[in-house]
Structure 1
Amino acid sequence: MYGNHRFVWCTLLAGAVALSGCNSILLGKQYDFPPSGAPSATIRLENTRGTSLEAMSFNEKGCYAGHTPLPYSGDFIETPIAVGKKLVLTYERVIGGKQCQIHFSFTPQDGATYTLKTDSWSDPKTGFLPIFNYDQSYCGIGLIKKVGDLESIEPIQQLRIKPTGLACLMFVK
């Protein structure tokens, strides 16, 4: 009987930890946000239904170690980000069963605000027979950098995931 109570208590404890916001266990190594007062930039994205933006974390060998969903407030996903080193983000949007997912990177500059612009479109394709016509869907992103009153298009590097070993995934060009 004592063993059953221990199982119940362990199950309740695990559930409480999962529900308490202690999700770093499931998400892996969390992104290191800059501390208050440290040099930083800001990333922002319009917060629409089905949209997420996550910062990727890597270990000392450059292998994927975890991800952190970026916080949102009202109409925007917006947060300070570290500057001077490559930032890898994953943008995802799911609409009507279609998924757009783009992994990309750039190096933020101190004091800049980066606004992510996204779009999606379809291109009709002809099938083997007219009844097999379909729409090919695409999505894309752009990054607008603003420093003071100056705005410019920030170049980004689109990435893909490459398995490089049994336990190592890397984001590469």
Structure 2
Amino acid sequence: MYGNDKFGWTYALLAGAVALSGCTSLFQGKQYLFPRPDEPSATVRLKYESGTNLDAMTFNESGCYAGFTPLPYTDGFIEAQVAVGKKLVLTYRQVVAGSMCQIPFSFTPQEGATYTLKSGSWSESKTGILPIFTSDQYYCGLGVVKKVGTQESVEPIQQLRIKTGFACLRFVK
């Protein structure tokens, strides 16, 4: 039965299937560790729109980028329980009609709080050297509303940029 497979295609297909079945960390690097149900947590949520992703970034002990984990999508929201008391780095990404908005940002979640992300985009016309040469500049933004019990407030976030270095990517203010 197995003697006809001279080139090992069966084993290669089996190895490929095992590598790709649930092992997303193979491509996404170090995965974010979501809190267990018995651990303190906060909730991060974003209303899902087509082309929208929200990823939790991970870092190694040197502070270099190590990977990302897409937050799960359920019932019209991207929503997940996240660890509290330490800096959380997220990247919001939305692609619409070939344009991409990407905003890496961070904040420190508080136990029991729900953080609802609000996104938006707008454009402004910019006049060129001559008035007949105008172009539209497109912008996107993100805000976070924190809710603890019945109290709501705007959560200050730190928008980040990526600083490249030899064999190390860092997210900095």
Q: Which amino acid aligns with 1:76?
A: F
Q: State the shift of 1:28 in Å.
A: 0.2
Residue of structure 2 equivalent to 1:169:
169
Residue of structure 1 equivalent to 2:154:
153
For structure 1, list consecutive stretches of 5 or more residues without a partner in the other structure. none
Q: State the shift of 1:127 in Å.
A: 3.3
Q: TM-score, normalised by structure 2?
A: 0.92
For structure 2, list consecutive stretches of 5 or more residues without a partner in the other structure. none
Q: Find out whether 1:114 has 2:102 as its counterpart.
A: no
Cα-to-partner distance string for 1:89-128 (whole Å, 9 max, x where unaligned)? 0000000011000000000000000000000000112234
Relative to 1, partners in 2 of residues 1:64 and 1:3: Cα closer, same or farther, differing over 3 Å?
Answer: farther
For 1:40-59, list aligned pairs within 5 A: 40-59=41-60
Q: Which amino acid aligns with 1:5?
A: F
Q: Which amino acid aligns with 2:81?
A: P
Q: Find out whether 1:97 has 2:83 as its counterpart.
A: no
Q: Quote the Cα distance in structure 2 between the aligned partners of 1:11 and 1:136.
A: 50
For 1:1-173, list aligned pairs within 5 A: 5-6=7-8, 8-128=9-129, 132-164=133-165, 166-173=166-173
Cα-to-partner distance string for 1:13-58 (whole Å, 9 max, x where unaligned)? 3431354221110000000100111000000000110000000000
SS of the residue 1:102 aligns to = strand
Q: State the shift of 1:167 in Å.
A: 1.0
Q: Quote the Cα distance in structure 2 between the aligned partners of 1:133 and 1:76.
A: 38
More deviation, 109-118/13-22: 13-22
Q: Which amino acid aligns with 1:93?
A: Q
Q: Quote the Cα distance in structure 2 between the aligned partners of 1:116 and 1:131.
A: 39
Q: Quote the Cα distance in structure 1 between the aligned partners of 2:102 and 2:15.
A: 31
Q: How many residues align?
A: 171
Q: Quote the Cα distance in structure 2 between the aligned partners of 1:81 and 1:170.
A: 21
SS of the residue 1:5 aligns to = coil
C-alpha RMSD over aligned residues: 1.9
- Calculate percent identity across the aligned residue pairs: 64
Q: Quote the Cα distance in structure 1 between the aligned partners of 2:154 and 2:164.
A: 31
Deviating beyond 4 angstroms after TM superposition, the runs of 4 or more aligned structure 1 residues are 1-4, 128-132
Q: Which amino acid aligns with 1:41?
A: A
Cα-to-partner distance string for 1:43-96 (whole Å, 9 max, x where unaligned)? 000011000000000000000000000001021001100000000000000000
